[in-house]
Amino acid sequence: MTFLLNIDVPNVETATTFYTAAFGLTVGRRFGTDFVELLGWPAPVYLLTKPAGTVGAGNDRRRYDRHWTPVHIDVVVDDIDAAVERALRAGAILEAPARDAPYGRIAMLADPFGHGFCLLAFSARGYDALLGADE
């Protein structure tokens, strides 16, 4: 079993520029002018042009101002400060600067299309640091 990550965007070329610059992804295949495959993460990323105002799942209209969704991307990095800087240079919006957490460091950002994401740099224990001493 595997999974694919699909990201709706208002302009696939602008999104391709952002995701390749922010995360070092590379273009795999292009399926016409509105559908691009990006490679470099454990799962391929598919950018799909879906204009603002078009109907998505649940009859919700797509909007690309900052929005909340219960599913978002966490990108695990080695150097969170460098990763934040790279994402910001590519056009990301910083929502919460990198801070220490029991499991490492975390920063919260959004892409230029309103999709939130986190950058995580795990400590040696990672999420195991959240477990009780007897677990």
**What are the residue ranges spanned by the domains of the chain?**
1-64, 65-135
Report pLDDT digits (tens) over 77-134: 999 999 999 999 999 999 999 999 999 999 999 999 999 999 999 999 999 999 975 5
CA distance 121 to 78: 6
Q: pLDDT at position 134, please?
A: 53
Say which residue the tokens 């740099």 belong to: 121
Please tell me the pTM assigned to this model.
Answer: 0.90
Report pLDDT digits (tens) over 17-75: 999 999 999 999 999 999 999 999 999 999 999 999 999 888 888 999 998 888 899 99
CATH superfamily of 65-135: 2,3-Dihydroxybiphenyl 1,2-Dioxygenase, domain 1 (3.10.180.10)
Q: pLDDT at position 71, please?
A: 86
Does domain 1-64 fall under CATH 3.10.180.10? My reply is yes
Residue 46: Cβ within 10 Å count: 18
Report the 3 state secondary structure along 42-102: CCCEEEEECCCCCECHHHCECCCCCCCCCCCEEEECCCHHHHHHHHHHHCCEEEEEEEEEC
The radius of gyration computed from the CA coordinates of the chain, to the nearest angstrom, equals: 16
